Amino acid sequence: MTRRQVDHRLSRGIWRYVVAGVIAHRDHVVTATDLVLAAGLVRPGCLVVGRVAAAYHGVPVPLRLPVAIQVDSPGRSVPSGFVGRMVTVDAPGILRVGGIARVAPDRWSYVDALATMPWDDVRNLYAYLVTHARLGPEHLREHLAAHPHRRGNGQLRELLRRSASGALSEAEELMHALLRRAGITGWEANTRIDLPGLRVRPDVVFRAARVVIEVDGRRTHASRLVADHRRDAALTAAGWTVVRVTWWDLVERPDALIAQIRQILTR
């Protein structure tokens, strides 16, 4: 194919640039694997880190540019759409992808993403990692002890502090605060319940009363709502009462919400 043919398809919007000089069809949904391979095309053998590396390992991270790649010296130029980071990947398990690129190991990538992404993305990723048993606070503490001066450690410490009570989101923090303020006890946060063929970690569990509270944040994604509905159905079938709490409930009608919870607990 000639350069003129390529330019024609680009000008008509049939093709589009993904990153740097890498092109895809306009209808193609770009994946983490695509971005890793793109990195290998423009910088063969490079090591992808950060959010794209985490997404490559199958966790729900928004794919946004730039793609972070490891560099060996400060100020080294990288192609458009990429950012160079001087970082040592000291964990085993670096993956080679397509023979042209490399990806940091899964757990290392998760910690790196938590240390470097915007705060809202960090809270969402950490909630997923904890509830799916991919990462826990002990791994963050191990990282901080081993690398006390690494970039992003302040954010990791704040994440540990904010989640120390078991709250994995701002909405859960508000829910916990309301329960404590109301003097309601006997609950646990994000504790495991084993159901037939399914293991779940509801946001708040009143085990003795067989009541769970699930808290939806301000920006709950539609795909998560579908999964939550299935989980709620499984809990209900196993004899649990599921209380769904929205962000609006937490901020606009907290007193009514607490009264509702009290009523359910005393049935």
Question: Is 249 a member of any domain?
Answer: yes
Percent of the chain with pLDDT over 90: 72
Question: Is 1 a member of any domain?
Answer: no
pLDDT of residue 204: 95
Q: What confidence category does residue 220 fall into, taking pLDDT thresholds of 50, 70 and 90? A: low
For 156-201, what is each residue's pLDDT tens digit? 999 999 998 889 989 999 999 999 999 999 999 999 999 988 889 9
Question: Is 7 a member of any domain?
Answer: no
Global pTM reads 0.84
Question: How far, in Å, CA of 64 to CA of 44, rounded?
Answer: 21
Looking at the structure, tell me whether residues 181 and 66 fall in a common domain. Answer: no
pLDDT of residue 187: 96
pLDDT of residue 179: 96
Answer yes or no: is pLDDT of 7 > 60: yes
What average pLDDT does this structure show over 193-219?
A: 90
Nearest alpha carbon to residue 35 among 101, 93, 89, 104: 101
Looking at the structure, tell me whether residues 157 and 180 fall in a common domain. Answer: no
Read off φ and ψ for residue 185, nearest 5 degrees: -120, -175
Last residue within a domain, chosen from 162, 181, 215: 162
Residue type at 148 in one-letter notation: P
**Could you tell me how far CA 45 lies from the centroid of its own chain?**
27
pLDDT of residue 226: 67
Question: Is 13 a member of any domain?
Answer: no
Question: How far, in Å, CA of 94 to CA of 108, rounded?
Answer: 10
Show the domain range for 202: 170-265
Looking at the structure, tell me whether residues 158 and 38 fall in a common domain. Answer: yes
Among 31-35, 70-74, 100-104, the range scoring the smallest mean pLDDT is: 70-74
pLDDT of residue 197: 85
Percent of the chain with pLDDT over 70: 97
Looking at the structure, tell me whether residues 106 and 217 fall in a common domain. Answer: no
Looking at the structure, tell me whether residues 61 and 146 fall in a common domain. Answer: yes
* Number of structural domains in the chain: 2
Domain with residue 232: its CATH number is 3.40.960.10
Question: Is 12 a member of any domain?
Answer: no
Answer yes or no: is pLDDT of 232 > 80: yes
Question: How far, in Å, CA of 6 to CA of 8, rounded?
Answer: 5
Q: What confidence category does residue 102 fall into, taking pLDDT thresholds of 50, 70 and 90? A: very high
pLDDT of residue 224: 62
Q: Is residue 103 within 8 Å of 95, Cβ to Cβ?
A: yes
- Beta-carbon contacts of residue 96 (< 8 Å; ≥ 6 apart): 102
Answer yes or no: is pLDDT of 131 > 90: no
Angle at 133 between CA 70 and CA 164, to 5 degrees: 90
For 59-97, what is each residue's pLDDT tens digit? 999 999 999 999 988 777 888 899 999 999 988 999 999
Question: Is 21 a member of any domain?
Answer: no
Question: How far, in Å, CA of 22 to CA of 252, rounded?
Answer: 48
